Amino acid sequence: MKIKKAIIPIAGKGTRFLPATKEIAKEIIPIINVPMIHYIVQEAVEAGIEQIIFVTSSGKFSVEDYFDRNLELEAYLERNNKIKELELIRKIGSMVEITSVRQKEQLGLGHAVLMAKNMVEGEPFAVLLGDDIIVNSKPAIKQLMEVSVEKNGAPVIGVMEVPKEDTAKYGIVAGEVLDSRTLKMSEMVEKPNPKDAPTNLATPGRYILTPEIFEILENIPRGAGNEYQLTDAINILCKRKPVYAYKFEGERFDTGNVDGYLDATIDFALKNPETREKFIQSLKYRIKKHGITL
Ligand code: UTP
């Protein structure tokens, strides 16, 4: 069965990015000149997703506007013969069908996903978190879709190995190893201390889920941080039916925090031929200017 819909929850407060997120949606903050959310939506579109469902909150209108047409800007660019720019912004405006639903209170990721229940209409769906940019020639979410199809439409959770001392930052999965990349999950634990973590396989925000998850989300109590955790619901789901974890191929940047954002910016500046030389020159000059010895 083809997975056509993706939920992208963007209702969070982005406190790790204050003060910018006081007035700007975190997802619109650009890496060089492309908003972070563009990469997430692009990953979904390249994987064949036809409809994006944003779970939004107040102050996130700019994310919806970004993927809409801007006829006034298009007319301006056309009048001024800026054809390259015109094509670029038209392409963004017609990238994919966007719908949105509000999460009126920020009660956690599990609650945010539940808000989109009526929009996925009983089909398996993808969930992508905007804080994790994953770079790979085959989109990470596409890799999970393929495993899901292979496993008769089962839920599949994207995982990556992290240093054992970092397990408290992530949802961590455990299960029976089926091959070098796939596990049949037995449990998922939210942010365990390294000594309690069953593995070092973390879940950086890529999921293929099935509609049973909504009934679970409707009934779970609040979990870690007094929020409704998607992790808790997946933990229940994998006790009821086969759920797989898949070690996707790709480099992941945690752009939800300033360190990860900086790392992504440097990497993107270096890999783009248009910015590489300028970046290296500037870096050399500034290292010297600030008297830094490497
Ligand atoms: P986070 O808690 O990591 O992100 O949620 P945040 O709230 O945006 O940022 P910080 O932690 O305060 O800096 C992971 C994802 O889930 C969404 C967030 O928007 C983010 O994409 N989310 C989280 C919701 O949509 N609703 C919620 O109630 C909580």
Q: Is residue 290 part of a domain?
A: no
63 inside domain: yes
What is the Å distance from ligand 1's center to 11 Cα? Answer: 6
Residue 95's SS3 state is coil
Instruction: Judge whether 161 lies within some domain.
Output: yes
Which carries the bigger pLDDT value, residue 131 or residue 217? 217
Give the residue-averaged pLDDT of 65-72. Answer: 96
Both tokens of 163, joined, read 């240093």
Q: What is the mean pLDDT of the chain?
A: 96
Evaluate whether residue 99 is within a structural domain.
yes
Number of domains present in the structure of the chain: 1
Ligand 1 center to 13 CA (angstroms): 6
Exposed/middle/buried for 112, CB within 10 Å: 0-12, 13-18, 19+?
buried
Percent over 90 (pLDDT), the chain: 95
294: pLDDT strictly greater than 80: yes
Q: How far is the CA of 263 from the centre of ligand 1 (A)?
A: 20
Band of residue 262 on the pLDDT scale cut at 50, 70, 90: very high
Residue 216 lies in a domain: yes
d(CA 140, CA 160): 11
- Tell me whether residue 94 is in a domain: yes
- For residue 225, being part of any structural domain is answered with yes
Residue 190, ligand 1, Cβ within 6 A: no
pLDDT digits (tens, 9 = 90+) for 223-232: 988 999 999 9
Please give the backbone phi and psi of residue 238, each rounded to the nearest 5 degrees, phi first.
-75, -10
pLDDT at 1 over 80: no
pLDDT, mean of residues 153-167: 96
Residue 153 pLDDT level (bands cut at 50, 70, 90):
very high
Q: Does 145 have pLDDT greater than 90?
A: yes
> In whole angstroms, what is the distance from residue 12 CA to residue 9 CA?
8
Q: From residue 46, give the alpha-carbon distance in Å to each of 95, 141, 154, 196.
A: 10, 9, 21, 37
Q: Ligand 1 mean position to 4 CA, how many Å?
A: 24
Report how far ligand 1's centroid is from the alpha carbon of 12 (Å): 4
DSSP 8-state code for residue 184: E
CATH number at residue 252: 3.90.550.10
Structure confidence at residue 70 (pLDDT): 96
The answer as to whether 205 is a domain residue is yes
Percent of the chain with pLDDT over 70: 100
**Helix (H, G, I), strand (E, B), or coil: what is residue 122?**
coil
State whether the beta carbon of 129 lies less than 6 angstroms from ligand 1.
Answer: yes
> What local confidence, expressed as pLDDT, does residue 190 receive?
85
Return the structure tokens found at 143: 């890799």
- pLDDT for 220 beyond 90: yes
Task: Give the C-alpha separation, 5 to 119, whole Å.
Answer: 9
Q: What is the pLDDT of residue 122?
A: 87
* 81-111 residue pLDDT tens: 999 999 999 999 999 999 999 999 999 999 9
Q: Under 8 Å CB-to-CB from 287, ≥6 apart: which residues?
A: 294
Q: How confident is the model at residue 197 (pLDDT cuts 50, 70, 90)?
A: very high
Residue whose CA is closest, atom 16 of ligand 1?
A: 109
Q: Determine if ligand 1 sits within 6 Å of the CB of residue 155.
A: no
At CA 234, angle to CA 229 and CA 239, rounded to 5? Answer: 135
Residue-range definition of the domain harbouring residue 238: 5-256
